[in-house]
With several copies, the nearest count.
Chain A
Amino acid sequence: MINKKVNNVEEALVGVQSEMTFMLGGFGLCGIPENAISELVKLNVREITCISNNAGVDNFGLGLLLQNKQVKKMISSYVGENDEFERQMLSGELEVELTPQGTLAEKCRAAQAGFPAFYTPAGYGTEVAEGKETREFDGKMYVLEAAYKADFAFIKAWKGDAAGNLIFKGTSRNFNPNMCGAATITVAEVEEMVAVGVLDPDNVHVPGIFVQRIFQGEGYEKRIEQRTVRQKK
């Protein structure tokens, strides 16, 4: 077993620098690497590019990096729910690249799996396809999309072990597995570190080979964006 465990978030983020490109898992505030984001704020790395489906809210998630003006460019599919983001975007301080959600997921997966590019129908005939190669297959048009490149991927899992194996809970899985191994260094933080051998080999969502560093995260807030409930009758 190859040991990927590091002691804390500080060790996990060794090597992080300004001007780097980061992938961050999560959908909205669900399944985001809270510890890594806090540490990025502390490290105060500047001019970073973030690949993440969303940009957090004003005072949480990626919003913390935006408030601190650390982000040069966001690559996302949906960036609402964030006033500071809007201000920086409209003022031109922040560069934004909007990518269809499925394309975003597959660009990560392509990087993980060693595919340089792929053809997808998403965005054909729209602004998203501008400047990109398009091509017909079986009478339907597709856009050529390239794999992402990133320096670090920050992943949040439910449980993990020292071998780097990860499992996720519910919809907090989202982009996290697709970003594992898609960057030079993949850092996973887990709610619960379990002993090696505890995870069922049949039910490992991400095999440890895709993870370079793993640590026990702390103090998860796991905020809910839209608390929707019904009343018991």
Chain B
Amino acid sequence: MALDKIGIAKRIAQEVQDGFYVNLGIGIPTLVANYVRDDIEVEFQSENGVLGMGPFPFDGEEDADIINAGKQTITTLPGASFFDSAMSFAMIRGKHVDLTILGAMEVAENGDIANWKIPGKMVKGMGGAMDLVASAENIIVAMMHTNKHGDSKILKRCSLPLTGVGCVTKVVTNLAVLEVKDHQFHLIERAPGVSVQEIQEATEATLIVKGEIPEMTL
């Protein structure tokens, strides 16, 4: 059965390792924080200027001056720090953030990603996404395998304006985990009960399938 958003978040949470500084994009990525193993040490960075984010505040304790990049009220954990935007992107551009998790409209087998603009539609902007994908060495995309019309979002080449080139390292969708290596998508894991064939049919890009593909364990 294909995963829901929470399932995708749970699977991505398995990629978070002990000692990682992690930047989470808006949407599914934000959910990842809820499913990280609690026996490892991880710190969450938000590009609007906070390191060491905690859970949402208790009702009545929210503070307009303490938000995340999604403009949500948050709390901080002991050891947290606040800083300006230039320093925040020094962390990102300088590769001090170990893992970036973000959503996408399209990803391509050359590692390209498109997630900020649909020509002819209102463009809201790239926010910090272009800095993140141009800098990070470990970029995981959280997305649905196909759009609402059933068209694949896992492509040979992106059709939408790019956010970054050759940068995506892994994609976790409702159907599969894909690794981007040598300009190809490699199928690593299947969602529980989803067949390789179903994944291939939902994938426009060439999919490298080697040996037995295990099911995810969530």
Interface residues in chain A, defined as those with a beta carbon under 8 Å from any beta carbon in chain B:
1-3, 27-31, 53, 76-80, 86, 89-90, 96, 98, 100-106, 108-109, 111-115, 120-128, 158, 161-163, 165, 168-178, 181, 196-197, 199, 201-202, 204-205, 207-210, 222-232
Contact = CB atoms under 8 A, between A and B. Distances in A.
B130 interface: yes
Contacts of B166: 125
B100 interface: no
A145 to B, nearest CB: 11
19 contacts: A2-B42, A27-B48, A27-B85, A77-B127, A77-B128, A100-B129, A102-B130, A108-B86, A171-B65, A172-B64, A174-B85, A178-B85, A199-B81, A209-B21, A209-B96, A210-B91, A224-B73, A228-B57, A229-B57
Q: Give the residue among B74, B91, B129 with the most A Cβ atoms within 10 A.
A: B91
B109 interface: no
Contact of A80 (B43, B46, B94, B125): B125
A99 to B, nearest CB: 8
B48 A208 contact: no
Contact of A122 (B65, B74, B124, B135): B135
Given A163-B79, A204-B81, A207-B81, A226 B96 contact: no
B123 A170 contact: no
A105 B96 contact: no
Contacts of B81: 165, 199, 201, 204, 207-208
B173 to A, nearest CB: 23
B211 to A, nearest CB: 33
Nearest to B96: A209
Given A2-B43, A27-B48, 5 more contacts: A2-B20, A108-B86, A181-B91, A226-B71, A229-B56
A54 B122 CA distance: 15
B88 A105 contact: yes
B78 interface: yes
B95 A114 contact: yes
Nearest to A178: B86
Contact of B49 (A96, A109, A171, A199): A171
Contacts of A210: 91, 96
B84 interface: yes
Interface string B1-29: 00000000000000000011100000000
